[in-house]
């Protein structure tokens, strides 16, 4: 009996990733990191900036997501996000540019508490990537 499920990640430009036989996915939801295995209860949740971990057997792929929605039902996981990139293929200067942009946004006076929270979290995640 298979212990796997399907995943599809979509951004505005294209279907970013479509994969069968995924054994686990960890997503950065507002409620905290959610680990999803086969037969997980149905969920719909909002994503915050962070790392999506896709585990297939002994292989793990990590993707940075900006935000989005995650839905899991009938052993099919869908992630809709405005921005995503594969961490393995990211260049240091690309991550540095994202950090600079987030710091610039954070320094604005008219920023509300929700955006301040999201930008601080985004910076924390991006800085952890730049040191790897």
Helix, strand and coil content of the chain, in percent to the nearest 5, comes to 25, 45, 25
Nearest to 67 by CA among 54, 50, 53: 50
Global pTM reads 0.88
pLDDT in tens, the chain (132 residues): 578 999 999 999 889 999 999 999 999 999 899 999 999 999 999 999 999 999 998 999 999 999 999 999 999 999 999 999 999 988 888 889 989 999 999 898 888 998 898 899 899 999 988 655
d(CA 100, CA 62): 22
């Amino acid at each position: 009996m298979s212990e796997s499920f399907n995943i599809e990640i979509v951004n505005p430009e294209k279907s970013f990733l479509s994969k069968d036989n995924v054994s686990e996915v960890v997503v950065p939801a507002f409620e905290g990191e959610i680990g999803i295995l086969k037969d997980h209860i149905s969920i719909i949740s909002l994503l915050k900036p962070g790392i999506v971990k896709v585990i297939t057997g002994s292989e793990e792929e990590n993707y940075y997501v900006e935000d989005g929605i995650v839905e899991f039902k009938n052993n099919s996981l869908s992630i809709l996000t405005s921005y995503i990139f594969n961490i393995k293929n990211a260049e240091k200067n690309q991550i540095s540019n994202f950090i600079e942009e987030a710091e610039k946004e954070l320094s604005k006076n008219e920023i509300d508490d929700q955006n301040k929270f999201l930008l601080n979290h985004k910076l924390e995640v991006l800085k952890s990537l730049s040191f790897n």
